[in-house]
């Protein structure tokens, strides 16, 4: 019997050894993909014509918007809790910061902030350059900075601007190292765990490093096929998820842009998948339909306490591996019985 050695070593590498534990680290959990997405629930959102964009506030409250100036706060029953009356009609036009404040684009293309108690609206970033309009945004949970996808009004050119928590411009991402534009009318934007900035526009998903250097563009699977990307998000395992309007699927990529699977396909409950949001607190994926007001919630990542996982892996390891010391180095070998009856070492 052989054990998957890469699984063993990967699992063991995540366990802190004596003297290396971080203070107040808490329970270490290992994240894993399940065998397939598990349906959790569906809800019908009142007050919108389609679920074009989703932003999570808590595990049971989300903001949902359509492309007809409707921006609603709802719970897991679909009941409207609050409506923003002056939002624009873009795609990824809102986000939520770590203080549970809603940040959104209004009809004058200013960027506003709605307080947690939904009683106070302030202008966070006032529009001053009328040749560019904000079109999508994402608040980084790691830095608190705001990433904004901008669209040039005279052409289809785009750029990404970054702002700190005071609303001051900190960076602009627009061109690659040859001077060519990276984006055309960015519709959705998010950030991966490694700091990469992920943007979708009409025909591609473009990923740059945090500093702006282009990493890759994804244009569909197999290579050369067409892609019509809508909503995007990333998950706890740094996968990139993208809704594709052509295949009507949610596609999963690794952090380097390699296609992994069609995670979800069009269903009667969900309709055509259009918007995505991954809830890091519950590890559930919210998927909104662009052609009706239904949202479906799935789970495809599970977590297991590291100590439990360690004990299981260690038991399997001890049963199937023998440790030898060669020239001062520990070598892990499987022991199997050869046809001659002698032990045969297999590395």
**24 in a structural domain:** no
Q: At residue 7, does pLDDT exceed 90?
A: no
Query: What is the sign of the dihedral through the CA atoms of 256, 257, 258 and 264?
Result: positive
**22 in a structural domain:** no
pLDDT of residue 255: 98
Q: How far apart are the first and last CA of the chain?
A: 13
| Both structure tokens of 210 | 């945090």
- How much of the chain, in percent, has pLDDT values that exceed 90? 73
CA angle at residue 280 from 307 to 215, to 5 degrees? 105
**245 in a structural domain:** yes
Query: Are 338 and 205 part of one and the same domain?
Result: no
Query: Are 43 and 154 part of one and the same domain?
Result: yes
Instruction: Band the pLDDT of 17: cuts 50, 70, 90.
Output: very low
Query: Are 235 and 327 part of one and the same domain?
Result: no
Query: Are 69 and 203 part of one and the same domain?
Result: yes
Q: At residue 318, does pLDDT exceed 60?
A: yes
pLDDT in tens, 42-59: 999 999 999 999 999 999
Query: Are 236 and 327 part of one and the same domain?
Result: no
Query: Are 298 and 309 part of one and the same domain?
Result: no
pLDDT of residue 331: 60
The Cβ of residue 171 has, within 10 Å, a number of other Cβ atoms equal to 15
Q: At residue 189, does pLDDT exceed 60?
A: yes
Query: Are 76 and 125 part of one and the same domain?
Result: yes
Residue among 210, 306, 205 nearest 250 (CA): 205
* Total domains, the chain: 2
**99 in a structural domain:** yes
Q: At residue 102, does pLDDT exceed 90?
A: yes
Q: At residue 3, does pLDDT exceed 50?
A: no
**208 in a structural domain:** yes
CATH of the domain at 200: 2.120.10.30
Query: Are 333 and 223 part of one and the same domain?
Result: no
Instruction: Band the pLDDT of 334: cuts 50, 70, 90.
Output: low
**180 in a structural domain:** yes
Which distant-in-sequence residues (6+ apart) come within 8 Å of 76 by Cβ? 41, 43, 60, 297
Which residues form the domain of 288? Answer: 29-304
Alpha-carbon span 166 to 148, nearest angstrom: 14
pLDDT in tens, 164-183: 999 999 999 999 999 999 99
Instruction: Band the pLDDT of 333: cuts 50, 70, 90.
Output: low
Query: Are 84 and 215 part of one and the same domain?
Result: yes
Query: Are 209 and 310 part of one and the same domain?
Result: no
**21 in a structural domain:** no
**23 in a structural domain:** no
């Amino acid at each position: 019997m052989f054990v998957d050695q890469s699984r063993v070593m990967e699992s063991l590498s995540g366990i802190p050894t004596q003297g290396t534990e971080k203070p107040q680290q808490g329970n270490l959990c290992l994240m894993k993909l399940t065998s397939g997405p598990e349906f959790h629930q569906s809800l019908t959102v009142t007050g919108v014509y389609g679920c074009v964009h989703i932003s999570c506030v808590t595990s049971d409250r989300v903001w949902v918007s359509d492309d007809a100036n409707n921006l609603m706060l709802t719970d897991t029953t679909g009941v409207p809790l609050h409506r923003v009356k002056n939002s624009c009609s873009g795609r990824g036009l809102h986000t939520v910061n770590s203080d549970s404040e809603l940040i959104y684009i209004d009809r004058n293309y200013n960027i506003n902030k709605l307080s947690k108690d939904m009683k106070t609206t302030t202008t966070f970033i006032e529009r001053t350059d009328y040749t560019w309009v904000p079109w999508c945004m994402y608040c980084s949970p790691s830095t608190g900075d705001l990433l904004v996808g901008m669209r040039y009004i005279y052409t289809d050119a785009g750029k990404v601007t970054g702002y700190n928590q005071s609303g001051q411009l900190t960076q602009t991402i627009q061109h690659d190292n040859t001077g060519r534009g990276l984006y055309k009318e960015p519709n959705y934007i998010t950030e991966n765990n490694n700091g990469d900035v992920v943007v979708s526009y009409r025909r591609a998903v473009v990923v740059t490093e945090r500093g702006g250097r282009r990493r890759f563009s994804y244009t569909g699977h197999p290579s050369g096929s067409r892609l019509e990307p809508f909503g995007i998000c990333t998950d706890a395992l740094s996968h990139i998820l993208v809704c594709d309007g052509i295949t009507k699927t949610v596609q999963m990529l690794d952090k380097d842009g390699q296609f992994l699977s069609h995670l979800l396909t069009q269903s009667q409950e969900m309709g055509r998948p259009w918007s995505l949001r991954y809830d890091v607190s519950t590890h559930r994926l919210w998927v909104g339909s662009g052609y009706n007001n239904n949202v479906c919630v799935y789970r495809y990542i599970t977590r297991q306490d590291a100590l439990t996982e360690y004990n299981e892996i260690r038991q399997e390891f001890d049963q199937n591996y023998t440790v030898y010391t060669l020239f001062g180095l520990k070598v892990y070998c499987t022991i199997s019985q050869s046809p001659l009856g002698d032990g045969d070492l297999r590395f």
